[in-house]
Structure 1
Amino acid sequence: MAGDGGGRAARSRRHDPQRRDRIVAACLEVIAEHGVAGTSHRRVAAAADVPLGSMTYHFSGMDELLRAAFGRFASSVAERFERRLAAAATAADARQAVASIIVGEVFGSRRDLVLTHELYTLAAREPAFRAVTNAWMRRSRAALERHFDTTTALMLDALIEGLTIHEALGTQPRDPALVRLAVDRLAGQPE
């Protein structure tokens, strides 16, 4: 056949402008299910329903993919955190917002808790990933500092992180009244 490139119909490249985003989203799901240690190019490609070759086309290696995935995750959590605190009009509203963040309004799912701790563990071992956690902490503290002085914001941020760890690892449900008491004490409010 003339003009058909040697007898075979020319293949057109599949137009898939969302492929990179799907890979990043799939990477988060694979991490949530298998952990960072169990995350591979093959598993992510299968979860994203893309050819394995797409992995190396879009990402130079697993570190770049993990940075993109955890960067997206940290940014989405920071945005929810910022929105919740931005809605607070008074000091009491801000304290309630912090308590609500702790009891699950921002880290509302087991998936989010698992991803958070996978990121923490990776950042503890690999200094390159601390840029992701440090950017996340800066955003959290900036949101808190809209309502609290710098020292109180730092302590509240540590309380949020600590109680989030307890939630991820604990076997007993958290008492929202106790959380509110802790926030009020740290924020210098009378009981």
Structure 2
Amino acid sequence: MTGTRREIPNDPGRKERILDAALDVIAEGGVHTTTHRRIAARAQVPLGSLTYYFDGMADLLAQAFARLSDTMSRLYRQTLLSAASTADAEAAVVELICGPAYATERDMTLIFEMYAYANHNEAVSATTRTWLERSRDSLALHFTPGVSRALDALIEGWPMHRAFDETPLDRRLVTETVHAIVTAAPRLTADGP
């Protein structure tokens, strides 16, 4: 190692703090109000740090959304890994839909922003596709490919409805719906009925 500034980080974890700050700024005001200045202030780093670690705002946003996707995918997988039976796996799916840990209000705001931005940024679009694949792979620990696809759509969609619906989510309805999809397994293939 020659000891150049790029080889010796003087603030380990700075890049991760910047990415976390970017997600905070996006959650507060959306991608459209996110600026380098707001992110640097939130991360408590010099403005120049952003250009040191990222090749512009598009790169910073892409990496921030990749961090979000990775964090949520790990939680998703861990929730399903803890299931010891099909019944436990069904309960895990219900928890992903109804529980407090996955798809919080902040998470949903970030997911909406990520999906919208993915329409205009190929890197974020690729991150979103990878996230869907990782979710289905996690569900495939317990369910067939067709059931995994149906449950993943439910896990993604129901919290979106919950974000805008004034009526509280009915956990019993969610439980019954998940069970109905799982018991339809013999009729579902990888692409549907």
TM-score normalised by the chain length of structure 2 = 0.87
Cα shift at 1:15: 2.2
Cα shift at 1:107: 2.4
Q: Take 1:83 and 1:166, find their aligned partners in 2: how far apart are those partners? A: 24
- Listed as ranges, the matches of 1:35-184 within 5 Å are 35-184=30-179
Cα shift at 1:108: 4.6
Q: Take 1:89 and 1:54, find their aligned partners in 2: how far apart are those partners? A: 46
TM-score normalised by the chain length of structure 1 = 0.88
> Kindly tell me: are residues 140 and 105 of structure 1, through their superposed partners in 2, closer, same or farther at Cα, counting changes over 3 Å?
farther
Q: Take 1:164 and 1:174, find their aligned partners in 2: how far apart are those partners? A: 9
Q: Give the gaps of 5 or more residues in structure 1.
A: 1-12
Contact 1:77 1:106 in 2 (8 A): no
Q: Give the gaps of 5 or more residues in structure 2.
A: 1-7, 185-193
Contact 1:30 1:44 in 2 (8 A): yes
- Percentage of pairs with the same residue: 42
- The residue aligned with 2:189 is none
Task: Flag the structure with larger Rg.
Answer: 1
Q: How many residues align?
A: 177
Contact 1:77 1:107 in 2 (8 A): yes
Q: Take 2:171 and 2:34, find their aligned partners in 1: how far apart are those partners? A: 35
The AA in structure 1 aligned to 2:71 is S
Cα shift at 1:128: 2.9
